[in-house]
Amino acid sequence: MSEQHASNSPGLRSWLGLLVVLGPVLLVSMDGSILYLAMPRVSQDLAPTAAQALWTLDSYGFAVGSLLVTFGNLGDRYGRLRLLMVGTTVFGLASAASAFASSPELLIASRALMGIAGATLLPSALAVLSELFNDPKRRAQAIGIFAAAFAAGFAIGPLAGGVLLERFWWGSVFLINLPVIALFLIFAPFLLREVSVSRPGPVDLLSVVSSSLGILMAVYALKHVAADGFSVLPSLIGVAGIALLVVFVRRQQRIPHPLMDFSLFRERVFTVAIITGLLPLAAWSAAAYLSGMYLQSVLDIPVLHTALLALPGALILTLTCIATPMVVDRFGKRAALIVCHFSIAAGLLLLLPTTISGGVGWYTASTCVAGLGYGISFAVVADTAVGAVPPSRAGSAGAIAETSNEIGNALGIAVIGSLAALLFRLQGPNLAQTLDETLQLPGLSGSVAHEAKSAFVLGLHVAVAVASLLHLALGALALRWLPKGRGEAEQPAADTPGAAVDHVGA
């Protein structure tokens, strides 16, 4: 740690600064899931096509995931607080535009702008925290709280949407962002300070374009192929996206000032931690989406009641995020990563006893057990990424962690969710592509509705079983691959990349 951080005891201003930063972070994650319950109202009001409805949900996550690396580095070079202020302002304006969008095209565009602004917030917020809290233990606690807010946003997004939709029109799910953003813009200049950065060299434009477009095109193609099968245009888009990502990776190894330092992935703990950022989010998003459909469409539970059933798991997830740094400090990251994957695997398997006639208890137990693992994943990934590098690279390291979260969230519904949809089409009555469309058909007999619900539950079971097996495999990999001992909890002796990496993987 450099000499400018000689004082290791954070004062009241640091904790108030953390509180101010948490507002935009909570909003960014909430807006990734808050539309899940609002889409039926949006469809009634704006009448989007099926493709437009998909882009309404996906444009936000695509924009966030594809631009995190770029904006993490821009913040490192030109000032994190400056980027936070600009990004928060744009996020507020885009939220207002989304709330009053009068057509599907305007809603998609404003949601994409929200995603672009959201990509400026997460890595810069993490980097600001690394400056507010210089002591490693205090920094880990602060990042744990940061991760808890980020995780809680994903979890409470549908709940907040359900409460608002009981009383107001669908645009209200975006307007709740504005008071939080206003408070941030008022207090941030007084509580946060601009970070003095020393990143040399200009931002490499080719790296920016290849990383952003490569991620966007690859994820789009994967989602399309998983949902609708192979076709020429999406496949070509996917190949082009992969080619751009290859160009990006190779270029980072040649240029003097890369956007992403791939040498960090030589350390096993860092690598497993970043994978832990991706896979649990994929499992969480798919399980949340499918189980929400199960509760509402199979068991006929009202939307607000469905949202309330997720509260116990959300509470455990949030508390685990806060407690994880203390556990890691005592037992090390290896133990935390192992527990993370095995608890998620066990939690997902608890969805297997659900049936078309009941399963609320199994659902609640599943979210509680898996919530333990999800909470560990949020906290460990963020702290590992930021702690693995010197302060000058905190934004870009945080971007790697958050990118793995966002891409995992996008891929969960695309791949795991599409597996369930495929099984529904193969095993169901073959009258419509989805369960809801089937149940809304006029003159539907009870036996056909029973067949459709049974096919959906089968798809749910296969999807969560596959996700559970993936977590069991990664947990076994962590058990065998990661070094034993608590050396990874030690801090680097110098503010150099090498020392920082030694901190992660010792």
Q: How far apart are the first and last CA of the chain?
A: 17
CA 468 to mean position of chain CA atoms = 19
Question: Tell me, what's the pLDDT at 226?
Answer: 57
Q: How far apart are CA 316 and CA 324, in angstroms?
A: 12
Question: Tell me, what's the pLDDT at 199?
Answer: 53
Angle 261-262-267 from CA coordinates, rounded to 5°:
110
Question: Tell me, what's the pLDDT at 393?
Answer: 58
Q: Mean per-residue pLDDT for 265-292?
A: 78
Q: Tell if the pTM clears 0.85, that is, is over it.
A: no
CA 107 to mean position of chain CA atoms = 21
Question: Looking at the predicted structure, is the pLDDT value of residue 387 above 70?
Answer: no
In whole angstroms, how far apart are CA 353 and each of 312, 364, 413? Answer: 19, 12, 22
Domain ranges of the chain: 10-193, 204-258, 261-506
CATH fold of 10-193, please?
Answer: Growth Hormone; Chain: A; (1.20.1250)
In whole angstroms, how far apart are CA 39 and each of 43, 91, 139, 441? Answer: 6, 21, 38, 19
Residue that the structure tokens 């207090």 belong to: 187
Of the given ranges (155-169, 269-283, 296-310), which has the lowest mean pLDDT? 155-169
Residue 279 is classified by DSSP as: H
Q: How far apart are CA 67 and CA 74, in angstroms?
A: 11
pLDDT, tens only, 478-500:
788 776 654 444 444 334 333 33
Question: Tell me, what's the pLDDT at 496?
Answer: 38
pLDDT, tens only, 348-367:
999 999 998 888 999 999 99
Cα dihedral angle (489, 3, 142, 383), rounded to 10 degrees?
-40
Of the given ranges (197-206, 257-266, 428-437), which has the lowest mean pLDDT? 197-206
Per-residue b or e along 400-412, where b marks 16 or more CB atoms closer than 10 Å to that residue's CB: bbbbbbbbbbbbb
User: Residue 54: phi, psi to the nearest 5?
Assistant: -65, -45
The reply to whether 261-506 shares the fold of 10-193 is: yes
CA 443 to mean position of chain CA atoms = 41
Question: Tell me, what's the pLDDT at 205?
Answer: 81
Superfamily the domain 261-506 falls into: MFS general substrate transporter like domains (1.20.1250.20)
Q: Left (φ > 0), alpha (ψ -120 to 50) or beta: where does 231 sit?
A: beta
Query: What Rg do the C-alpha atoms of the chain give, in angstroms?
Result: 22
What six digits make up the tokens of 195?
A: 């970070």
Q: Mean per-residue pLDDT for 92-97?
A: 90
In whole angstroms, how far apart are CA 407 and each of 190, 215, 236, 491? Answer: 34, 9, 20, 29
Q: How far apart are CA 248 and CA 260, in angstroms?
A: 9
Question: Looking at the predicted structure, is the pLDDT value of residue 48 above 80?
Answer: no
Q: Mean per-residue pLDDT for 232-238?
A: 87
Q: Mean per-residue pLDDT for 236-257?
A: 87
CA 62 to mean position of chain CA atoms = 11
Question: Tell me, what's the pLDDT at 285?
Answer: 77
* DSSP symbols for 227-263: HH---HHHHHHHHHHHHHHHHHHHHHTTSSS-SS-GG
